[in-house]
Structure 1
Amino acid sequence: MNSLKNLNIQPIENGELRKLLQHNIDQKTKPVGSLGYLEELALRIGLIQESTRPELKSPVMLTVASDHGITEEGVSPVPPEITWQQVNNFINGGGGIGLFCKQYGFDLYVVDAGVDHDFEPHPRLIDKKVRKATRNFLKEPAMTQEECDKAIQNGRDVVALFAEKGSNVVGFGEMGIGNSSPATALLSVYTGLSLEECTGPGCGLDQKGIQKKSGVLQQAIEKHGILEKPEANLAAYGGLEIATMVGGMLEAAQRRMLIVVDGFITTSAFLAAYEICPTVRDYAVFSHCSKEHGHVKMLNYMNGRPLLNLDLRLGEGTGSAIAYPIIQGSVAMLNEMTSFGEAKVYNVVDETGNIVTK
C-alpha cells in the first residue's frame, strides 16, 4: 500500500488574493497591525479557502486512540487499561474533550487506531484498528511499514469522509497511555535534539522516572538508528494513533481544510507530516504550547506560533477546542468588523503616530 500516493499539497501563496486580503484587514477601524496575530490568522484562513470572506464550516474533532508496547518498559506511571476506559468516556461525552467540544462547537469522534480492547459499536466511535497496540520498540519496530502505511491511509480516509460532508475545519487530539514516549523519540529523531532535551514527565513521572524513560528511548534509537525516510522513522518509533493523525493532517491540507493542532503528542504527528510534506505547515494552527517541555522544541523547529500558553498538558484535543473561539474571532474580524469607509472615519493615526487620510 502506498498511503502517500497522489499526495499534492499546494502552498497557500497567492499574490493578488494576499494583497486584497491584507488591504481589507488594514482598512478595518483600527491602527494597522493592532490586532496582531489575529490579523495574520485571518489572512491565512482566507488564503487556505481562496476567499476574501472565508467561512468556518462544521468543525470536527478527531481524537485518535491507541495503546503502546513500550509501556512494558515502565515509561508511564499509568496502567494501559486507562486508554480504553477513557475512549468509552469520550464517546459518551465525558472527559475534558467531551466538555470542551460541547462548549465550543466541535463535533467529536473518537478513532480507534489500535486500542488493546474490543469495543461495542457506537455512533461516535470510528473503527480503524490496525492491530491491538504497537510493538515494544525497545525490542523491535513499533509497526511494520505496511501497518504504518495502513494507519496513514486510515487517517486520510476518515478526514476525506468529513470533508465530503462539508467540514472545512478539523481538530486533532489523542488518547493513548505511554504515547509521550513515541512522541519524544520522534522529536529527537526528526530534529536531532538529544533525548535529555526532549524527554518530559508525560502522565506524571518523577525525575528518576524521566531519566529511566530517556534511557529506554536512547537504547531504542541506538538499536534501530535514524532512518532515511520520515515514514520509516514513524514506523520504527511512532504510534498507531500518531500515524493515523499524520494521514489525517496530510489529507486535510490537500483538501484545503484548516488543521487545529493540539499539544505534544498531536504535534509529534504534525512534525512527522511536516517531514513528509513541508507545505502541510501552511494549513495548520497550533492551538497552544503544552507544559510538556518538548512541545516548545517541536514548535520552534517548525516556526510554529501557538495561540495560547495556559500550561495545558491534558491532550485529547482539549487545547484545539479551547483555542477555537480565537480562530472564529479572527474570521469574524475579517468579515464583520467595520471598515474606515463604512464608519466614515477618514483621518487616522498609523503605527508610527502620523496622521493618514483614508
Structure 2
Amino acid sequence: MNPPHANLPHVSPVDASTMPELRARLDGKAKPLGALGRIEDLAVQLGLIANGSPPSFDRALLLVFAGDHGLNQEGVSSYPSSVTQAMVATFLAGKAAANAFAQAVGAQLRVVDAGVDGDLPAHPALLDEKVRRGTRNAAAEAALSREETVKALEVGARIARDAAGEGFEILALGEMGIGNSASAALIMHRLAPAPLEDCVGRGAGHDDAGLARKLATLQRAAARSVATDPLDVLTEFGGLEIAMMSGAIIGAASAGLPVLVDGFITSAAALAAIRLVPAVEGYCVFCHRSAEQGHQRMLQALQAEPLLALDLRLGEGTGALLALPLARAASRLLNQVASLDDVLSGRL
C-alpha cells in the first residue's frame, strides 16, 4: 500500500497583479513617497492577501503548539523534557512571557497539545490534539510514522480554519518543546538546504560542550536518512508541534488569513509548509530575526526580510506578538490615512 499523503486544503496564491494599484494608493497618501519604509511593504502584502483593503486585525489569535522530542534523550537541550509540560501549565495559568505580550497587544492565546509527553488536565485555553506522547529518537529511527506526520499536518490545518471560522482575522504562531531547535535545524539542513553546521545553534543556552554534543547527535540523525521531500523530512526528524504548525500555516492561508511567523522553530515550520504548498509563502509575515544560529540563513533561503531584529530567542510566539501592532498599523495606513489630494483640496 502506498504511504498516505496529507489531505490539505487548497491555497490560492495571492494575486500580485494588484500590487501596482496598492503601491499607487500608498504613494497618494498624505506623506512623502516611501516615508514609512517597511510598513508600506507590509501594507502592500496585507492588501494582496485581502484582495484590496485588509481588516483591522483587532481579532488576533496566538496558537502555541507544544510537543516533546525523543532527540532530547541524547542531550540536545540543556533542559529536561519535563519542562515542556511545566511551561504548558504556565501558559494556561497566564504567567508566561507569551501571556504578558498577548495581553499587551490584545491577542487571545490558546495552547495546542500536539505531542506533549504527559497527560494534561482539561482547560478552556487548551486544545487536546495529541498525536502521540513525544516523537521517537530521530538519532536512532524516524521521529514519526508517515501516518502521524499526516495527522499532525491535517489537524493543524483544521485548527487554523476553525479559527478563521470564529472570526479571527490574523494568526500568530508560537511553540513550546524542549529539544525542538534540534529538529528545526535538521529540517533547515534538508529543506533550505544548508550545511548542518550552519543550522545548529545553542538553543535554550548550551555551553560549548553542549553545542558540540548537539551537533554530533544531529550529524548521526542526518546520516541515518537521506530524506529531502518535505513530508519525509518532517517524518524523519519531527517534531509534532512543528508539523502541526506547518499545517496551521497552510490552513490559515487557505482561509485567506495572514500568518505571523515567530522565530527559528516557527520559521522551520513555515519552510516545510512552503516546500509542501508553495502558494502559502505570500501569506507569511516573518516577524523577527532570532539570535539563534542559523535563523538568518533560513530567512535568506525563504527570501524573507523580517520586520524586527531584537535578539530574541525565546520562542512561544513572543516575536510574532511584538509584530502584531505593526500589522495593525499597516492596515490602518491603507484604510484610514487621507490622500494628499484630499488634504490639499480641503475634502477631509
What's the TM-score once normalised by structure 1's chain length? 0.93
Displacement of 1:299 = 0.5
When residues 32 and 2 of structure 1 are mapped into structure 2, their CA distance, relative to the original with a 3 A threshold, is farther
Q: 1:221 maps to what in 2?
A: 222
Q: 2:64 maps to what in 1?
A: 63
Secondary structure of 2:312's aligned partner: coil
Q: Does structure 1 retain, via aligned residues, the 8 Å contact 2:200–2:215?
A: yes
1:244-271 deviation line (CA, Å, top 9, x unaligned): 0010000101111010000011111001
Secondary structure of 2:133's aligned partner: coil
The whole-number CA distance in structure 1 between the counterparts of 2:84 and 2:286 is: 25
Q: Give the counterpart letter for 2:164 in structure 1.
A: A
Q: Does structure 1 retain, via aligned residues, the 8 Å contact 2:56–2:332?
A: no
Displacement of 1:273 = 0.4
Aligned residue among 9, 12, 24 for 1:10? 12
Q: Does structure 1 retain, via aligned residues, the 8 Å contact 2:63–2:112?
A: yes
Q: 1:317 maps to what in 2?
A: 317
Secondary structure of 1:157's aligned partner: helix
Greater shift in the superposed pair: 133-142 or 229-238: 229-238
The whole-number CA distance in structure 2 between the counterparts of 1:322 and 1:91 is: 20
Q: 1:252 maps to what in 2?
A: 252
Q: Does structure 2 retain, via aligned residues, the 8 Å contact 1:57–1:166?
A: no
Q: How does 1:177-192 map to 2 (within 5 A)?
A: 177-192=178-193
Q: How does 1:106-121 map to 2 (within 5 A)?
A: 106-121=107-122
When residues 18 and 194 of structure 1 are mapped into structure 2, their CA distance, relative to the original with a 3 A threshold, is closer
Q: Does structure 2 retain, via aligned residues, the 8 Å contact 1:155–1:248?
A: yes
Q: 1:353 maps to what in 2?
A: none
The whole-number CA distance in structure 2 between the counterparts of 1:3 and 1:58 is: 33
Which structure is larger by alpha-carbon Rg, 1 or 2? Answer: 1
Secondary structure of 2:307's aligned partner: strand
Displacement of 1:2 = 5.3
RMSD over aligned Cα, in angstroms? 1.5
Q: Percent identity?
A: 39
Displacement of 1:301 = 0.3
Q: Give the counterpart letter for 2:94 in structure 1.
A: G
Q: 2:283 maps to what in 1?
A: 283
Q: How does 1:137-216 map to 2 (within 5 A)?
A: 137-216=138-217
Q: Does structure 1 retain, via aligned residues, the 8 Å contact 2:12–2:279?
A: yes
Q: Does structure 1 retain, via aligned residues, the 8 Å contact 2:76–2:182?
A: yes
The whole-number CA distance in structure 2 between the counterparts of 1:167 and 1:14 is: 24
The whole-number CA distance in structure 2 between the counterparts of 1:208 and 1:92 is: 35
The whole-number CA distance in structure 2 between the counterparts of 1:339 and 1:44 is: 20
Q: Does structure 1 retain, via aligned residues, the 8 Å contact 2:173–2:262?
A: yes
1:261-295 deviation line (CA, Å, top 9, x unaligned): 00011111001001111221100111100000211
Structure 1: which 5+ runs fail to align? 347-358
The whole-number CA distance in structure 1 between the counterparts of 2:47 and 2:326 is: 15
What's the TM-score once normalised by structure 2's chain length? 0.95
Q: How does 1:256-271 map to 2 (within 5 A)?
A: 256-271=256-271
Displacement of 1:164 = 0.7
For these two proteins, the number of residue pairs brought into alignment is 344
Displacement of 1:10 = 1.7
Q: Does structure 1 retain, via aligned residues, the 8 Å contact 2:64–2:173?
A: yes
The whole-number CA distance in structure 1 between the counterparts of 2:53 and 2:110 is: 31
Q: Give the counterpart letter for 1:25 in structure 2.
A: L
The whole-number CA distance in structure 1 between the counterparts of 2:56 and 2:27 is: 20
Q: 2:36 maps to what in 1?
A: 35
Q: Give the counterpart letter for 1:136 in structure 2.
A: N
Displacement of 1:8 = 2.2
Q: 1:101 maps to what in 2?
A: 102
When residues 58 and 140 of structure 1 are mapped into structure 2, their CA distance, relative to the original with a 3 A threshold, is same
Secondary structure of 2:222's aligned partner: helix
Q: 2:235 maps to what in 1?
A: 235
Q: Give the counterpart letter for 1:43 in structure 2.
A: V
Q: Give the counterpart letter for 2:230 in structure 1.
A: P
When residues 74 and 53 of structure 1 are mapped into structure 2, their CA distance, relative to the original with a 3 A threshold, is closer
Structure 2: which 5+ runs fail to align? none
Q: Give the counterpart letter for 1:65 in structure 2.
A: A
Displacement of 1:14 = 4.3
When residues 139 and 160 of structure 1 are mapped into structure 2, their CA distance, relative to the original with a 3 A threshold, is same
1:204-254 deviation line (CA, Å, top 9, x unaligned): 111221121111111111111224x21111110120000100100001011
